[in-house]
Amino acid sequence: MEEPGRSYEAGDYAAAHSAAVAALAERPDDLTLLRIAGRSAFQLGLDDAPDHLERAVALEPDDAQTLHDLALALVDAGRLGEAVDAFRRVIKLRPPEASELVDLAYASYATGAGEEALGYLREANLQAPGGLAPKRGIMAIARREGRPGEALDAAREVLELAPDDISALLDFADLSLELERFDDAEKAFRRLRTLDDEPEHELYSVHGLIETALRRGRLRQALDLAVDATRIDRLGRTTDVLTYAVATVFGEAEREGPSRDDVDRLLGESRAEHRRLHEEALVV
C-alpha cells in the first residue's frame, strides 16, 4: 500500500494506478487504495476513475474530498447529471470553496441549468473577489443566458485584475457594442488593436471600430476606417464595407454595393472569428 501512495505523491500516476489496482485484487474494500486508484486514473484520463471513487464513496459516504474527486471524474466521463449531484453533496458536507462552486457551476450549466450555474458563480465571486475564474464564468454564461449587462460587468472586473486579457477585452468590446455603450466599445477596439500583437489580427479590431462608427451614425469616420482597413486586408474582406461606406457618404459607387444588412453580417462574422481564434489558442 505504501508503493501506490509514494508513486502518487511523486506524480507517477501510471505506477500509482498499476500498484493500487493490483493491491485491490486482495483488498477490494481498502479505502486508501480505492482513492489512489481513482485519483491516479483521473489524472491519466482512464475510464475506471469513477468506478474506484464510487466504491470509495459507498464505503464512506460523508467523505467530502472523495466526493469532490468523484464529481470531477464524472464530469470527465461525461456523466454530468451524476456529477452535479456529487458536487451538491460536497457543499452540504462542508462550506464550499470558490473553486468547487465554479466546478459545480460549469457542470450545472452543461445540464441546462443556466440560472443555477450563475448563482453558484455569483457566490464564488463573493467568496473570492480577487479570483478570475468566477468572473470568467459569469462573463461567459451570463452572455449565453441573455444577460449582457451582467456579462459586461464581469468582463470589466476581469480587466481590472488582468488588463491585458485579450479574451476579456474582446467580450467587453462586443458587449459594449451590443448595449450601445459606444465610447466604451471604441476604446476597447482601439486597445485591442495595440494589445493583440498578431499581425493578422489587426484587421479584426479595425472592423470593430468600423462597426461602432456605423452604429453611431458616423459615416465619414466609418469610411476613413474602411480605407485604413484595406491597407492591411490582404484577402479583400473589407471591399464590401468600403463600397457601402463610399456609396453612403458620397451617394455613388463604381458598382452596386452591398446592403447595410450585408455589411453588418460581415462585421459581426469578423468579430466572431477574432474570438474563435483566441479561444482556439487557449486549447493546449
Q: What is the pLDDT of residue 66?
A: 96
Within-domain flag for 67: no
**Which cell numbers in the block locate residue 95?**
462550506
Give the number of other Cβ atoms within 10 Å of residue 51's Cβ: 16
pLDDT score recorded for residue 253: 53
Within a domain: 265 = yes
**Structure confidence at residue 262 as a pLDDT band (50, 70, 90):** very high
Segment 69-98, tens digit of pLDDT: 999 999 999 999 999 999 999 999 998 889
Cβ 229 vs Cβ 207: under 8 Å: yes
Residue 184 lies in a domain: yes
pLDDT reported for residue 254: 57
Judged against a pLDDT cut of 70, whether residue 282 lies above it is answered with no
Whose grid coordinates read 475506471? 48
244-278 in b/e burial notation, b at 16+ Cβ within 10 A? bbbbbeeeeeeeebbeeeebbebbeebbeebbeeb
Would 176 be classed as within a structural domain? yes
User: What pLDDT shows up at residue 120?
Assistant: 95
Say what the pTM is: 0.80
Specify the CATH number for the domain of residue 278. 1.25.40
CA distance linking residue 270 with residue 265, whole number of Å = 9
Residues of the chain with pLDDT > 90, as a percent, come to 84
pLDDT at 245 over 50: yes
Residue 126 domain flag: no
Please give the biggest Cα pair distance in the chain.
86
Domain assignment present for residue 35? The answer is: no
Give the model confidence (pLDDT) of 170-229 as tens digits: 999 999 999 999 999 999 999 999 999 888 899 999 999 999 999 999 999 999 999 999
243: in domain: yes
> DSSP characters for 156-198?
HHHHHH-TT-HHHHHHHHHHHHHTT-HHHHHHHHHHHHHH---
Alpha helices in 114-259 (DSSP H): 114-127, 132-144, 148-161, 166-178, 182-195, 202-215, 219-232, 239-250
**C-alpha radius of gyration, the chain, whole number:** 25
127-176 per-position pLDDT tens digit? 999 999 999 999 999 999 999 999 999 999 999 999 999 999 999 999 99
Per-residue pLDDT of 96-123, as tens digits, reads 889 989 989 999 999 999 999 999 999 9
pLDDT recorded at residue 255: 60
Range of the domain at 222: 169-284
Q: Is residue 266 part of a domain?
A: yes
- Total structural domains in the chain? 1
